[in-house]
Amino acid sequence: MSRFWKIALIVIAVIVVAGVGFRLLHKPAGPGAAATAAAGKGKDGKDETPPVPVTVVPVVKQNVPVYLTALGTVQALNTVTVNPQVGGQLLSLEFAEGQPVKKGQVLAQIDPRTYQAAYDQALAKQHQDQALLDTAKGNLLRSQDLAAKGYISKQDLDTLRNTSAQYQAAVSADAASVRDSQVQLNYTRVLSPIDGLAGIRAVDPGNVVTTASAIVTLTQLHPINVMFTLPEQNLDLVRRAAAQEGAALQVTALDRTDAHPIASGGVLKVIDNQIDTSTGTFRLKSEFPNAKNELWPGQFVNVQLLVNTVDGGLVIPAQAVQRGPDGDYVYQVQADSTVKMQPVQVAGEVGDSHVMIGSGLAAGDRVVTEGQFRLKPGSKVNALKPGEVPAAPTAAELEKAKQNSKNGGGRRRG
């Protein structure tokens, strides 16, 4: 076959293929196609797609507390390790482990016999020197009368006067020795220095204790402290809030899961005077009444420090806020019952289930909280209140849906 005929056949094939393609692309729509185009349209051409049932709540305005949160450690107001101040055999313990004790209560009894004997000796020495002092005073008094008549020399009179002064000093020293012996004797009764809770005893009766022996540790639980730290960037905020408030800043202790408060009524007592350069944080001390022993020394808690209250904050449920590539947004319901994607700025959390909106919404705006996964901008919705369910379809609606289903089936067969 010549080259001319080859080129002619190729040109004819291209023309045929182009003609077939043109026929297929411009084929008139049949009944099935027309039905498909009319799907979701009413007789007047309006969209009859059923509205999506969603839960809708309005944006509310309320006073919103602003908290700073941190991890805290419970610390006893006072912790005292009780040691005896004298040594000896421990006769008895007068407290129950784990039970409260009062200030001045006897905790332990040490054998007092040695200290009682020392006290008796000091007291007897005082009486002896007192008798010598009385004798010296009497001799001095009589000698003064005789010296006036010239029967006693001035030197002897001075000697008697000095002897009386020596016995006077001895009696004073004896009085001090008696007081010291009395103190040592009293130390054989070990007393509680504070109101607190007794821990586990560290020694048993019958043992010989010294001043280095620990008997028990007492902790004061009412009130009790909670220590916590905050980042240094919060220092100015806390200091300003503490300076502006008429009363101390309020502190609440939560359990580790933040499920519920375990102790309230706490107040901020101290802001530490320096920042930890290794962590970039500063320490704070709060105090709780702890009337029901909700807090225990060494316990870890989550702390909420109230630093401000925003008047008229805009609040919505946290589940209404969606995360998109351009930031946070909500589905806002418009007057025609369609929705739009409204960008918002979240200013902070309000409790466990709500957030405060800084911008993007106004009081009274309606936002979708449930059913967002079925929405897109412009979707028509059936706004329901929280807990409300869509109404059951009427007989006419069921018949219309059935008819639409039949029409759709015909389209599929075509």
**Shared domain check, 333 and 298:** no
327 lies in which domain range?
A: 52-59+321-388
Note the pLDDT tens digit of each residue in 288-297. Answer: 999 999 999 9
Local confidence band at 38 (pLDDT 50, 70, 90 cut-offs): very low
Q: Is residue 96 domain-resident?
A: no
Q: Is residue 11 domain-resident?
A: yes
The pLDDT value given to residue 37: 43
DSSP state of 211: T
The pLDDT value given to residue 44: 53
**Shared domain check, 265 and 306:** yes
Q: Is residue 18 domain-resident?
A: yes
Which residues, listed in sequence order, are joined to residue 267 by a DSSP beta bridge?
250, 287
Local confidence band at 253 (pLDDT 50, 70, 90 cut-offs): very high
**Shared domain check, 342 and 304:** no
The pLDDT value given to residue 201: 95
The pLDDT value given to residue 29: 47
Note the pLDDT tens digit of each residue in 201-235. Answer: 999 999 999 999 999 999 999 999 999 999 999 99
**Shared domain check, 280 and 224:** yes
Q: Is the per-residue pLDDT at 399 higher than 80?
A: no
Q: Is the pTM of this model over 0.95?
A: no
Q: Is residue 166 domain-resident?
A: no
**Shared domain check, 278 and 340:** no
**Shared domain check, 297 and 347:** no
Which CATH number does the domain housing residue 225 bear?
A: 2.40.30.170
**Shared domain check, 303 and 225:** yes
**Shared domain check, 294 and 222:** yes
What is the total count of domains within the chain? 3
Under a CB-based contact definition with an 8 Å cutoff, are residues 93 and 208 in contact? no
The pLDDT value given to residue 43: 52
Q: Is residue 338 domain-resident?
A: yes
Q: Is residue 222 domain-resident?
A: yes
Q: Is the per-residue pLDDT at 413 higher than 50?
A: no
Give the separation between CA 414 and CA 410, rounded to whole angstroms.
6
Q: Is residue 131 domain-resident?
A: no
Q: Is residue 176 domain-resident?
A: no
**Shared domain check, 330 and 305:** no
Least confident range from 169-178, 335-344, 355-364, 390-399: namely 390-399
Mean pLDDT along residues 252-268: 87
Least confident range from 35-44, 60-69, 86-95, 110-119: namely 35-44
Residue 19 is encoded by which pair of tokens? 């003609």
**Which of the two residues, 259 and 189, has the higher pLDDT score?**
189
**Shared domain check, 305 and 360:** no
Give the separation between CA 397 and CA 404, rounded to whole angstroms.
10
Least confident range from 8-17, 82-91, 153-162: namely 8-17
Mean pLDDT along residues 19-37: 54
**Average pLDDT for the chain:** 85
**Which of the two residues, 390 and 140, has the higher pLDDT score?**
140
**Of 295, 312, 329, which marks where a domain is finished?**
312
**Shared domain check, 270 and 332:** no
Which CATH number does the domain housing residue 355 bear?
A: 2.40.420.20
